[in-house]
Structure 1
Amino acid sequence: MSDYYRDRCRHGGILSNAFIKFWWDRQVITNQYGRPGRNARNWGPDTIEGDLSQAELEKNRRDQTVDNTMNKFRDDLYYASKEYDMADIQVPLLSVANWGGILLHLRGNVEGFSHAGSRLKYLRFVTGRHDLPFYYRDEVEVQRSFLDAFLKDDDRVGWSIQGKIPAVDLVLRKGDVGVNDAAAEQKYTRRKEAEWPIARTQYTRFFLTPDQKLITGEPASDERRKLSYKALGTLENPHLIQFSTEPFAAETEITGHIVAHLNVSMSPDPSGPTPTDIDLFVTLRHILPEGKEVHYTGTAGDPVPLTKGWLRVSLRRINPDHLKHRPWLPHRDYTSTDILPVIPGEVYAVDIEVWPTNVVVEKGSKIVFEVSSGDTQGCGIFRHNDSSDRSEQKLRGSNHIHFGPESLNYVTLPVIPSKLD
């Protein structure tokens, strides 16, 4: 991560509570200074003061699971204290992003590369579990040569010469090589690029239609319709709508940043509370000609789709004047003053940041765009299911996507033409 709020804790303003607790319990509680029995468990020497009581241990730590639940906005002191200017980074930089890290280990590396002030900076993409690629023989040599260049003045590759090495090194995900299989993933090829995003990107709108298709031409119908699904879906009981392209007529590469534009509203259940917000969860999936979805290796070795995105509609406000705002990556401040009302029956046009991705879609394959009201397949250990952050009082009801001449819905995909085109 390079952005504590956006990359790790609150995806689109929605609390990513499950991973925070998973990480806290494994990495902090188990390692805290003074925890009893470290030596007996071969976990390191016991501490100078000896074993500390549970009460002392709790007093000595600040519980991150509580802090992230209690603090909701970037201007809360808890989050504000963790902000910094990435342009202050001036040292040579090698940022390694994992295409499968669609809820961590991806966005932060890409944005860290983009905004670092370093004169010499490089962005390298990998696939596989979040930890293992750093120990593959070829990847170790990349790291060793980079460090040798700047720590030993032994630059046998050209890292220290401006422009000698292209800034971006992509791994291209073509075909179905399986999940969590390092040897099989070696079949993916690599390509170097001079910049990120790729300069020749053709940002292409794929329009959603009421019959659940994704088409490249703007829908011609003047008919006003809406598709509905229940709010407050869960991983075990998802509520979603999917939109599919026709089979691609030719091999097509999609690499870069994605934005989804949706016109949404919500309504209460007849017997329930009046909801005050909408949580949008979106997913891109890659479907082979025979109908099988291609899964990729996620952070913990789990099967994941192409990518995901999120937005809490009360935090939909975009700051187009911010230096980091780009058409292909809308900038939100996520401050307490950005809250906008969400009223039943009102239609809101929103732009959803979807994390960057790469796929080479072969002829005959499809792309599916999924809109849901909660986590769906591929979220892994990064679930958003906190009962206070996503309460029935706030979210229960139905969500709607509206269609019509003034309500166009689309996903803007970064299509990369061949260098030969």
Structure 2
Amino acid sequence: MTAATTPTIAAEPVKTQVPGMIIEHNVAVTMSDGLALRVNIYRPDKPGRFPVVMLHGPYGKDTPDAEAPAYQDAWKKLLIKNPELCKTSSCRFIRWEAPDPERWVPDGYVILHADSRGSNASPGLLDPFAPRHTEDYATLISWAAHQPWSSGKVGLLGISYYAINQWQVAARRPEGLAAIIPWEGAFDHYRDVSHHGGIPSTAFQTMWFARQVAINQHGNGETPYRDALTGAVATGTPLPASLLRVNRIEPAEASLRQPFDGAYYHERTPDGARIEVPVLSVGNWGGQGLHGRGNIEGYLAAGSAQKWLRIHTGDHHAPFYAEDSLSLQKRFFDRFLKGEQNGFDSEPPITLAIRRPDGVIWRSESEWPLRGTQWEHYYLDTAGGGLAAGKAPAAAERSYAAQGEGLSFTTAPFTADTEFTGPVKLKLWVKSSTADMDLFATLRLIDPKGHDVTFDGASEPHAPVSQGWLRVSHRRLDAERSTEARPYHPHLVAEPMTPGQAYEVDIEIWATSIVVPRDYRLALTVQGRDWELPGLEGPFKGSGPFLHVGRDAALYGGTNTIASGEGQESYLLLPRIPTSR
């Protein structure tokens, strides 16, 4: 962007004072290439140096949740689930997926919220996952650590995008970074975000970018958003649409140009071994498609000597603001930013919400996969549609139309409550009438009346137990990184199928937790398209927004076949947790 076309933002920051808090608005911070990004600083109205909790992203640091059209449903659910929230805070400063300054500043923290390059008040190229943005974040962290109101210790906090870029910047080890809380994010940019089992997941990327990112692009005169503090257009002086378009890179388009896991994704996936600060990784069992796998992968990959994993369930937004969550976040930062000896070091490394149809039971664990896990093979029977532990049935095979309902395999009713918590693997023997096939595997819970039991997930109110995906031409395994419980595909080349020939494939189904009550059953559905719960209308039908559209109908719309039984054993590997360990 030239000087003549750069939208203008007030050269001097606007200082706004509220009781107990000073707000410095649109402070300019210069990056390594000379570009200035804009930040809001919320700090205690008293002398002293305070630890900094910060976030950096594209959603607009000045757009209130309550006024943003894209967030209205989430805002309503947030208030229903946290009815006291706006009694303990004015809620004026809550931004999407960000901590509320009014609940942090009184406890001696500075909240710093930065508009990332190309968004809201910050000029530049809008490319949310680019390494340049990670470099900017590192610069901001070090800048914050050296300010006169800063103690020199910086922690990172936020949901989703704000969790993803925590992992990325932590691997750069910027000066001042002292602890991170990546809350429902992603870690592996290829496997968690852009491709599932090698299948492009572009529907969500397109929707997310249009509704939540491009609308906040710097210079977007069509934005409906206004700066909550000044009332001005939050994105600066409008630019022509042609200039806006060339000044952004849309993730869905970029990922379609990069079908294999190469340099593009490696630049966006952190080297976990380089992460050395304390980590509290918080995931969601109902986060299939974006917010489940990454928190476990990040926790396992992090080189930090002090790290914790916590997995809850429920929707994506409201739990972050709940009182128990706020207390957890503050205890962690009180320990690692303030140095308080509050016992957090002695917390169990893993805390899990063990799901049941009627709620959850919290439990502490010491290792992943869980200590005492008994791996059980549930064999598919294509002849009768069964799914049973024991030995493989007689050899058989069955075909289905790839874009149809697929095949479902169901267990007998369980005779006692049975828990499965951990990674899940599906091994299949498959054929296709075409040179490739996409496999969509859905693990479901069925009640005694034959109805699906679904769960309120991160982005889907009718989520199944878990899901997994694989493009069969990506079937090759990385022997060093695969385990018996979790296959790892390098996704470096496509190896077409010979029509009619059988192939052995392993599918990673994202880790889960479910207690199957007595008289309930498990079901596995395998098909060539995204799973939908029958009878639902609207955008949420079981797989949320993480759909896999735009695939070649001729290549991925053929007739698929699953083989089972002796010599071609197809099975589901489940992590059973004994009642006494």
The TM-score by the shorter chain falls in which range?
0.7 to 0.9
The yes-or-no answer on 1:344 pairing with 2:485 is: no
Answering whether residue 397 of structure 2 is matched by residue 226 of structure 1, we say yes
Contact 1:34 1:47 in 2 (8 A): no
Task: Work out which of the residue numbers 455, 458, 478 in structure 2 matches 1:296.
Answer: 455
Residue in structure 1 matching 2:323, options 137, 140, 143 = 137
Q: Partner of 1:214 in structure 2?
A: 387
> How far 1:327 moved relative to its partner?
1.5
Counterpart amino acid of 1:319?
D
Partner of 2:176: none
In the alignment, does 2:196 pair up with 1:11? yes
Q: Take 1:349 and 1:413, find their aligned partners in 2: how far apart are those partners?
A: 19
Write out aligned runs for 1:154-165 (5 A). 154-156=340-342, 158-160=343-345, 164-165=346-347
CA contact (8 A) 1:67 1:78 kept: no
User: Alpha-carbon deviations, 1:113-140, whole Å to 9, x = none?
Assistant: 1111111110001111112111111111
Contact 1:128–1:301 at 8 Å: present in 2 too? no
**Aligned residue number for residue 333 of structure 2:** 147
**CA deviation digits over 1:230-263, x for unaligned, max 9?**
12x2xxxx42110000011111000000000000
Q: Choose 49-58 or 255-264, whichever is displaced more.
A: 49-58
CA distance in 1 between partners of 2:282 and 2:530 (Å): 26
> Contact (CA 8 Å) 1:265, 1:348: kept in 2 or not?
yes
Residue 344 of structure 2: SS of its match in structure 1?
A: coil
Residue 98 of structure 1: which of 284, 292, 300 is its match?
Answer: 284
After superposition, residues 95-134 of structure 1 pair within 5 angstroms as: 95-134=281-320
State the Cα RMSD in Å. 1.7
Q: State the distance in 1 between where 2:483 and 2:235 align.
A: 53
- Which residue of 2 is the match for residue 197 of structure 1? 369
Amino acid at match of 2:408: Q
Alignment pair present for 1:241 and 2:241: no
Percent identity of paired positions between Structure 1 and Structure 2: 38
Structure 1 counterpart of 2:442: 283
Structure 1 residue 79, shift from structure 2 partner: 2.1
| Matched position secondary structure for 1:109 | helix
How much does 1:37 deviate?
5.0
- SS of structure 2 residue aligned to 1:82: coil
CA offsets, 1:67-124, max 9 Å, x none? Answer: 112210111x432322331111110000001011111111000111111111111000
Instruction: Tell me if the contact between 2:226 and 2:233 (Cα under 8 Å) persists in the aligned partners.
Output: no
After TM superposition, the structure 1 stretch with the greater mean CA deviation from structure 2, 108-117 or 28-37, is 28-37
* Paired residues of 2:205 and 2:252 also in contact (CA < 8 A): yes
Indicate the residue corresponding to 2:490 in structure 1: 333
Give the letter aligned to residue 72 of structure 1: P
Residue pairs, 1:16-415, within 5 angstroms: 16-36=201-221, 41-42=226-227, 45-46=232-233, 50-75=237-262, 77-156=263-342, 158-160=343-345, 164-176=346-358, 187-209=359-381, 210-221=383-394, 224-231=395-402, 233=403, 238-267=404-433, 275-321=434-480, 324-335=481-492, 338-377=493-532, 378-386=542-550, 390-415=551-576
- Please state how far the C-alpha of 1:48 moved relative to its aligned partner: 9.0
2:393–2:564 CA contact under 8 A, matched in 1: no
**Match of 1:331, as an amino acid?**
Y
Which 5+ residue runs of structure 2 have no aligned equivalent?
1-185, 533-541
* Structure 2: distance between partners of 1:64 and 1:103: 16
**Cα distance in 1 between the residues matched to 2:364 and 2:265:** 36
Partner SS for 1:303: coil
Q: For the Cα contact (< 8 Å) 1:173–1:359, is it kept in 2?
A: yes
Q: Which amino acid aligns with 1:258?
A: V
- Residue 168 of structure 1 and its aligned partner are, at CA, apart by 0.6
Q: 2:355 and 2:565 mapped to 1: Cα distance?
A: 36
What is the CA deviation profile of residues 269-298 of structure 1, one whole-angstrom value per residue up to 9, with x for unaligned ones?
Answer: xxxxxx220100000001112222211012
Q: For each residue in 1:42-62, what CA deviation from the matched residue of structure 2 results, as whole angstroms up to 9, or x when unmatched?
A: 577447972100001011111
Within 1, Cα distance between the matches of 2:472 and 2:217? 38
Distance of 1:348 and 1:122 partners within structure 2? 39
- For the Cα contact (< 8 Å) 2:215–2:223, is it kept in 1? no
Rounded to whole Å, the distance in 2 between the matches of 1:317 and 1:191 is 36
In 1, Cα distance between the equivalents of 2:476 and 2:444? 27
1:139 counterpart letter in structure 2:
S
Larger RCO (CA under 8 A, 6+ residues apart): 1
CA distance in 2, matches of 1:399, 1:39: 47
Query: Deviation string for 1:379-405 (max 9, x for gaps)?
Result: 11111112xxx1123223100001342
Query: For residues 40 and 230 of structure 1, what CA distance do their matches in structure 2 show?
Result: 46
SS at match of 2:378: strand
Partners of 1:84 and 1:247 in 2: CA distance: 43
CA positional deviation for 1:325: 2.4
Q: Distance in 1 between matches of 2:305 and 2:491?
A: 30
SS of the counterpart of 2:300? helix
Change (3 A) 1:352 1:11: same
* CA distance, structure 1, for counterparts of residue 440 and residue 340 of structure 2: 47
In the alignment, the residues of structure 2 paired with residue 49 and residue 351 of structure 1 have an alpha-carbon distance, to the nearest angstrom, of 50
8 Å contact kept, 1:34–1:46 = no
Q: 1:51 & 1:255 partners in 2: Cα distance?
A: 51
Larger Rg: 2
Distance 1:264 1:360 in 2: 30
The answer to whether the Cα contact below 8 Å between 1:280 and 1:310 also exists between their aligned partners in 2 is: yes
Q: Output the CA distance in 2 between the equivalents of 1:285 and 1:73.
A: 30
Question: Number of residues paired by the alignment?
Answer: 384
